[in-house]
Amino acid sequence: MSAVTSLMEDSPVGLGAAPQETLYQFDESPLLARQSRQESNARSYPRRIPLALKRASGIHVEDVEGRRFIDCLAGAGTLALGHNHPVVIAAIQQVLADELPLLTLDLTTPVKDQFVQDLFGLLPEALAAEAKIQFCGPTGTDAVEAALKLVRTATGRSTVLSFQGGYHGMSQGALSLMGSLGPKRALAGLLNNGVQFLPFPYDYRCPFGLGGAEGVKVNLHYLENLLTDPEAGVALPAAVIVEAVQGEGGVIPADLEWLQGVRRITEKAGVALIVDEIQSGFGRTGKMFAFEHAGIIPDVVVMSKAIGGSLPLAVMVYRDWLDTWQPGAHAGTFRGNQMAMATGSAVMRYLKEHRVPEHAAAMGERLREHLLILQRDFPQLGDIRGRGLMLGVELVDPAGAPDAQGHPPQHARLAPLVQRECLKRGLILELGGRHGAVVRFLPPLVITAAQIDQVAQIFSKAVAAAVASL
């Protein structure tokens, strides 16, 4: 697949005289009006991306009005191969042609067995050699809930350590692990027990005001002291749960030495390490799993999104020392989704055979270079970060008061303007992070170099228009 060609010596993208643009306008359609009347007030994406979609192929979606968009949200990272990839469609058609059972609870089938072998074949050998798998309900949240139950049962301990900025789902157990306070306020009485939050090594806005190697060193010292100090006030936990790249929290990649330190400290303390790969797994960061960048072996890995090949599926893989729970300790009707297992197998084989993680790394570097070039002209692009095709741009107010590290504050007002200007030009992006000030790029991993250049060009025009409108 395509290799990166350095762009740093080229002219900035999209800053020359541009031809007259034709911009999409978003008036409420009958479909959107009915959605607004009839769907829950909890709906989120339609408020920022007011589209009624009709068809999709590859990296593109088309709405009912015939407008075409580049999809850099991709089901929040679910669509590793894009929309309606031929290998996914072929797998679905084969399941139907063979008259396979579509739902089997946890009874095995040849399709299920093949899925497990394909998945174990992608795991690091040290993990695969002692791995057990639990099929969960259809969402990543279900896998997180299973992981909480697993580690608490195996260790006999109840406390779990999570991280500021973390996101692990929206059920009550998973929500208790979330760093963001907003979604939890109405449920505080149900969520306050059993979770202790720790600072995450957010280099650009280090919780200790340090950043770099010193920030990592202090962070690890804090964790180690928490687990060993008899006066720390926190009972020895059952587990630590972490994202190797925080997604919803603002695309913050964990420092690799820090991840190695967390693994060393938890292993020494007899505390299970859960790595959440729901959004970052299956090639998105440039390796099959994001934790592989650090060369560590977790005790538990929770997976969903891309693992189902665009269909609902979630699993938990864990080391066999944790397999102490009893038959029936965890269940779920839809854990036997055969079509999702077939499409998941097809996607996993494609990722491996076509070296898609390597391609994602190259395309991510190409996009990053475009963004760094754009940053020269727009100081509002405060921090550009991520791994592979999981990238974020933290928008800042250059005129605002700097923080302890000298960085300007987040520009919460600018981010939705950039998102809207992108949408007008046919590019779907999502926001995240503190104050919703991070623009997130999660395109399908099969995106080409030419398409990366197109995304960068649209984004540059959108940033210019949004900044000019302030």
pLDDT digits (tens, 9 = 90+) for 297-326: 999 999 999 999 999 999 999 999 999 999
DSSP secondary-structure letter at 43?
Answer: -
- In the structure, what pLDDT confidence band is assigned to residue 247 with cuts at 50, 70 and 90? very high
- Please give the C-alpha separations between residue 52 and each of 31, 222, 465, in angstroms, as whole numbers: 7, 48, 25
For residues 110-122, average pLDDT: 97
**Res 181: pLDDT:** 79
From 441, 363, 370, 438, select the one nearest 70 (Cα to Cα): 441
Q: Which helix (H) or strand (E) holds 90?
A: helix 86-97
The pTM of the full predicted model, rounded to 2 decimals, is: 0.94
Task: State the chain's mean pLDDT as an integer.
Answer: 93
Residue 291 CB: number of other CB atoms within 10 A? 29
- In the chain the domains, ranked by start, together with CATH numbers, are 30-72+356-469 (3.90.1150.10), 87-353 (3.40.640.10)
Task: Tell me: pLDDT of 454 over 50.
Answer: yes
Q: Is 241 within 8 Å of 200 (Cβ atoms)?
A: no
* Per-residue pLDDT reduced to its tens digit, 314-372: 999 999 999 999 999 999 899 999 999 999 999 999 999 999 999 999 999 999 999 99
Check: CB of residue 168 under 8 Å from CB of residue 145.
no
Q: Tell me the pLDDT band of 464, cut-offs 50, 70 and 90.
A: very high
Q: What is the pLDDT of residue 303?
A: 98
Rounded Cα gap, residues 60 and 24, in angstroms: 16
Instruction: Tell me the mean pLDDT in the region 242-257.
Output: 97
Q: Which residue has the tokens 């006999």?
A: 156
What residue type is 83 in one-letter code? H
Query: Coil, helix or strand for 233?
Result: coil
Banded pLDDT at 91 (limits 50, 70, 90): very high
Question: From CA 139, how far away is CA 134, in angstroms rounded?
Answer: 13
Work out the average pLDDT over 263-275: 98
Give the pLDDT confidence score for residue 21 in this predicted structure. Answer: 84
- Six-digit token string for 86: 């031929």
- pLDDT given at position 190: 57
In this structure, are strands 160-163 and 239-242 parallel, antiparallel, or unpaired? parallel
Kindly report, residue by residue over 390-417, the tens digit of the pLDDT. 999 999 999 999 999 999 999 999 999 9
How large is the average pLDDT for residues 420-426? 98
3-class secondary-structure state, position 116 = helix
**Residue 290 · residue 280 · CB < 8 Å:** yes
Determine what percent of the chain falls in helix, strand and coil, rounding each to the nearest 5. 40, 15, 40
105 has pLDDT over 80: yes
Given a cut of 60, is residue 423 above it in pLDDT? yes
- pLDDT, residue 189, reads 57
